[in-house]
Amino acid sequence: THPRQYAVFGHPIAHSLSPQIHQAFAQQFGIALDYRTIDAAPAAFADAVKHFFEHEDGRGANVTLPHKAAAFALADERTKAATNAGSANVLTRLPDGRIAAHNTDGAGMVRDITERHSIDLRGHDALMLGAGGAARGVAWSLMDAGIASLTIVNRSPDAADALADAIGEPHRVHTRYWEDLDNIGSYDLIINATSAGTLGQSLTLPFSLAAPRALCYDLGYGKSAIGFLAWAHAAGVRYAHDGLGMLVEQAADAFELWHGKRPETEPVYRMLRATKA
């Protein structure tokens, strides 16, 4: 039979792990899958998606940098998580041909932290560095996971304020200036949602941010997470994890949306950990 057609859109996209992750999930169920990478420059993205779904029998697509906001905009239907984030990492073709946008990044991150790393987020005071697309994708999920407070610090303060306003829980969500990191106290959970590591830039963070039992979590993985995780270890925190598990978990949610089956993530996570990061 003709294998089902899936793809991940990005720019650049050649090094994406998504094809490998989805093939590994598909093997668990004996599903034949055609999952490829599609490199689309921003100006060509919407047409490329349309072509994939209308003329190449595309059933679903993952979307990564820099297309997540555009993916959200072009969809005909949007889940609550995608609407909150204003971005989508998953697109699904509905039976009637319309396109639905989902955002599984936040749920993926929370599952990685609470299930894989067995950390109960309830009651945590969380600090989020960054207020870009990835930060928006995970903020609501953190709130839903029961953190006590969320402090958002972004280099450009307007984006932090806009995110805090969008969440709309002024008693639990605060913003602070990047310049004040030295004197805003310590946190139980510190999330690096900046793209500094990906851009090859380093963050200068004071050790005073990290409470002794803190979890430090970088949404990036591989080389991009090295600087932040080294800082976390030097600060003496209890847990420091990169975003590889989040990548696998968000993919599992996409897989379930498309195939109606829940894949085992642990073997795939271990395989990637052993070979990639």
| 91 annotated as a binding-site residue | no
| 132 annotated as a binding-site residue | yes
Q: Which residue has the tokens 């932040």?
A: 228
Lookup: tokens for 221: 């993985």
Give the residues across from 63 on adjacent strands: 9
Q: Give yes or no for residue 92 binding ligand NDP (CB under 6 A).
A: no
Total binding residues for ligand NDP by CB under 6 A? Answer: 28
Q: Which is nearer to ligand NDP, 76 or 239 (CB)?
A: 239
Q: Say which amino acid occupies 260.
A: G
Q: Is 241 helix (H, G, I), strand (E, B) or coil?
A: strand
d(Cα 172, Cα 233) in Å, to the nearest integer?
28
Q: Are 92 and 41 in contact (CB under 8 A)?
A: no
- What residue is closest to ligand NDP based on CB? 132
Q: How far is the CB of 193 from ligand NDP (least distance, A)?
A: 6
Q: Which is nearer to ligand NDP, 219 or 252 (CB)?
A: 219
φ, ψ at 33 (rounded to 5°): -130, 135
Name 231's Cβ contacts closer than 8 Å, sequence gap at least 6. 203, 205, 216
Q: Which stretch binds ligand NDP (CB under 6 A): 8-16, 131-139, 252-260, 262-270?
A: 131-139
Q: Which is nearer to ligand NDP, 20 or 195 (CB)?
A: 195
Q: Which stretch binds ligand NDP (CB under 6 A): 2-10, 30-38, 43-51, 132-140?
A: 132-140
Name 69's Cβ contacts closer than 8 Å, sequence gap at least 6. 86, 87, 133
Query: In Å, how far are 3, 19, 75, 130, 212 from 89, measured between CA atoms?
Result: 22, 14, 12, 18, 34
Q: Give yes or no for residue 134 binding ligand NDP (CB under 6 A).
A: yes
Q: Give yes or no for residue 151 binding ligand NDP (CB under 6 A).
A: no
Q: Give yes or no for residue 195 binding ligand NDP (CB under 6 A).
A: yes
Where in 212-231 is the site for ligand NDP (CB under 6 A)? 219-221, 224
Instruction: Clarify whether 261 is annotated catalytic.
Output: no
Tell me how far the alpha carbon of residue 226 is from its chain's centroid.
Answer: 17
Q: Which is nearer to ligand NDP, 19 or 243 (CB)?
A: 243
| 23 annotated as a binding-site residue | no
Q: Which is nearer to ligand NDP, 58 or 108 (CB)?
A: 108
Largest Cα span, the chain: 62
Q: Degrees (nearest 5) of the Cα angle 102, 143, 111?
A: 60
Q: Which stretch binds ligand NDP (CB under 6 A): 145-153, 228-236, 246-254, 261-269?
A: 246-254
Q: Which residue in the set 18, 92, 250, 265 belongs to the binding site for ligand NDP (CB under 6 A)?
A: 250
| H or E stretch covering 129 | strand 125-129
Q: How far is the CB of 21 from ligand NDP (least distance, A)?
A: 10
Q: Which residue has the tokens 């989020």?
A: 128
Q: Which residue in the set 131, 152, 205, 209 belongs to the binding site for ligand NDP (CB under 6 A)?
A: 131
Query: In Å, how far are 131, 146, 213 from 222, measured between CA atoms?
Result: 21, 29, 24
Query: In Å, how far are 88, 117, 164, 195, 248 from 65, measured between CA atoms?
Result: 11, 26, 23, 11, 17
Would you name the residues annotated as active-site residues? 68
Q: Annotated binding site for NADP(+), which residues?
A: 130-134, 219, 243
Q: Which residues of this chain interact with ligand NDP, rule CB under 6 A?
A: 65, 105, 130-135, 154-156, 159, 193-196, 198-199, 201, 203, 219-221, 224, 243, 246-247, 250
